[in-house]
Chain A
Amino acid sequence: KAGVTQTPRYLIKTRGQQVTLSCSPISGHRSVSWYQQTPGQGLQFLFEYFSETQRNKGNFPGRFSGRQFSNSRSEMNVSTLELGDSALYLCASSQLTTGAGELFFGEGSRLTVL
């Protein structure tokens, strides 16, 4: 069974640009969550999608957005990039939506903003 796949793995952008990151969950998983990991702030929840609907949203500005498609694949977008957006963005999928289930993480997309 294939794991969670995130693309691209690495990317470099400049301030003001926008970026789209993609996540393919494990087959059969309908919940997809996104997390931002930085040395200073650690792991922070961005948002969760289930059946194409956003279930939860973390405390991030509106520049951060996401969506989920009917096949459960998810994308997140960051517009008007700032230097502080440099981070590892992790996607996780789960069979459960109750909070009790295991999250399966991808290897992440490492974004560098210059």
Chain B
Amino acid sequence: AQSVTQLGSHVSVSEGALVLLRCNYSSSVPPYLFWYVQYPNQGLQLLLKYTTGATLVKGINGFEAEFKKSETSFHLTKPSAHMSDAAEYFCAVSDNNAGNMLTFGGGTRLMVKP
């Protein structure tokens, strides 16, 4: 069975500071990995995904993540936080044989201080 662990349910950074949201996964097969963002009272929006190929993936709004197989990690980073980045972030994994059945982590709420 797959699982996703997001370290830190709440992360607070100052505007302009580095954002680092941690995600570790377990999967018995090569996974597909995703980061989604959820703003208040909205659905989820894809930030970026890793399926195959380059392990450093770039997404929208300046976010990027690196797939590290040896560490079973897929941490999300952004060099400089903006107030508009305040939201909840979810890491997710899917089995490439299981269709669109995503297993989500518990989420990390990012707060950005002025």
Q: A33-B100, A48-B99, A48-B101 known; A102 and B43 CB under 8 Å?
A: no
B100 contacts which chain A residues (CB < 8 A)?
31, 33, 48, 55-56, 92, 94, 96-97, 99, 101, 103
CB-based A-B contact count at 8 angstroms? 75
Asked if residues B32 and A56 are in contact (CB atoms below 8 Å), the reply is no
Pick the most buried of A31, A33, A94, A105: most chain B CB atoms within 10 A of its CB.
Answer: A105
B-side interface residues, number (CB < 8 Å)? 26
Interface size of A in residues (CB-CB distance below 8 Å): 29
Contact of A105 among B41, B44, B101 (CB under 8 A): B44
Question: B17: CB under 8 A from chain A?
Answer: no
B 70-100 contacts with A by CB, 8 A: 90, 92, 94-100
Interface residues of A in 69-114 (CB under 8 A from B): 90, 92, 94, 96-108
For the complex, give the distance between the alpha carbons of A36 and B39 in Å.
Answer: 17
Give the residue of B96, B105, B106 whose beta carbon is less than 8 angstroms from that of A100.
B96
Q: Is the CB of A100 within 8 A of B99?
A: no
Contact B43 A100 (CB under 8 A): no
> B11 interface residue, CB < 8 Å from A?
no
A4 within 8 A of B: yes
B103 touches A45 (CB 8 A): yes
Instruction: Name the B residues within 8 Å of A11 (CB-CB).
Output: none
Asked whether B101 lies within 8 Å of A43 as measured between CB atoms, the reply is: no
Which of A90, A94, A101 meets B43, CB within 8 Å?
A90
- The 8 sampled A-B contact pairs (Cβ below 8 Å) are A42-B104, A42-B107, A45-B103, A92-B44, A99-B97, A99-B98, A103-B102, A105-B36
Chain B contact residues, CB within 8 Å of chain A: 32, 36, 41-46, 49, 51, 90, 92, 94-107
What is the interface of chain A, defined by CB distance below 8 A to chain B?
Answer: 4, 31, 33, 35, 42-45, 48, 50, 55-56, 58, 90, 92, 94, 96-108
Task: Other than A48-B99, A92-B100, A99-B96, give 6 A-B pairs with Cβ distance below 8 A.
Answer: A42-B105, A48-B101, A92-B44, A97-B100, A99-B98, A106-B43
